[in-house]
């Protein structure tokens, strides 16, 4: 018998032995992986509490951001639909009027946005920020 045949037979025998042990292994049903039901419920509770906390913080940020606006930019698509980035949040063109913002298209194909800041209307170009301080004049940076 040559060494190649011996290696092939030995490899085949080793494969069959390993396959036999694997077939005989008594595997339990998996169910939920990694966590018991109690651990899973605790993780779900933590996730729900974090979500409630995040929602309350978002409400506070919304109240704070109502006093200052940053026109981060405008994405003008070839299909005519634009997206405005205000305070780091994308606002589609069709919902801009719902937020109290109006679009001012310029003759040189640029866009400004306008909104009420106290008693004044303010116009911003992309990159500008305005801080509204009650009845005082708005501070534009």
Contacts 24+ apart (CB under 8 A), 60-63: none
- Indicate if 49 and 79 belong to the same structural domain: no
Residue 55's domain spans which residues? 36-65
- Indicate if 47 and 57 belong to the same structural domain: yes
Number of folded domains that form the chain: 2
- Indicate if 58 and 75 belong to the same structural domain: no
Considering the domain boundaries, does residue 25 fall inside one?
A: no
* 80-107 pLDDT tens trace: 778 888 888 888 877 766 666 777 777 7
Considering the domain boundaries, does residue 49 fall inside one?
A: yes
0.85 exceeded by pTM: no
- Indicate if 58 and 103 belong to the same structural domain: no
- Indicate if 114 and 60 belong to the same structural domain: no
* 4-59 pLDDT tens trace: 888 888 888 888 877 766 655 555 566 656 677 888 888 888 888 887 766 665 55
Considering the domain boundaries, does residue 108 fall inside one?
A: yes
User: Which pair of structure tokens corresponds to residue 134?
Assistant: 């009650």
């Amino acid at each position: 018998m040559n060494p190649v045949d011996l290696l092939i037979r030995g490899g085949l025998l080793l494969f069959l032995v390993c396959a036999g042990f694997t077939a005989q292994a008594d595997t339990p049903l998996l169910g939920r992986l990694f966590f018991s039901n109690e651990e899973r419920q605790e993780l779900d509770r933590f996730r729900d509490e974090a979500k409630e906390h995040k929602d309350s913080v978002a409400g506070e940020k919304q109240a704070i951001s109502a006093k200052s606006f940053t026109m981060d930019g405008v994405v003008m698509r070839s299909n005519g639909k634009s997206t405005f980035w205000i305070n780091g949040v994308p606002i589609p063109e069709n919902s801009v009027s719902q937020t109290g913002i109006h679009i001012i298209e310029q003759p040189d194909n640029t866009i400004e946005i306008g909104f009420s800041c106290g008693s004044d209307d303010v116009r911003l170009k992309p990159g500008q920020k305005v801080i509204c301080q009650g009845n005082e004049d708005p501070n534009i940076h």
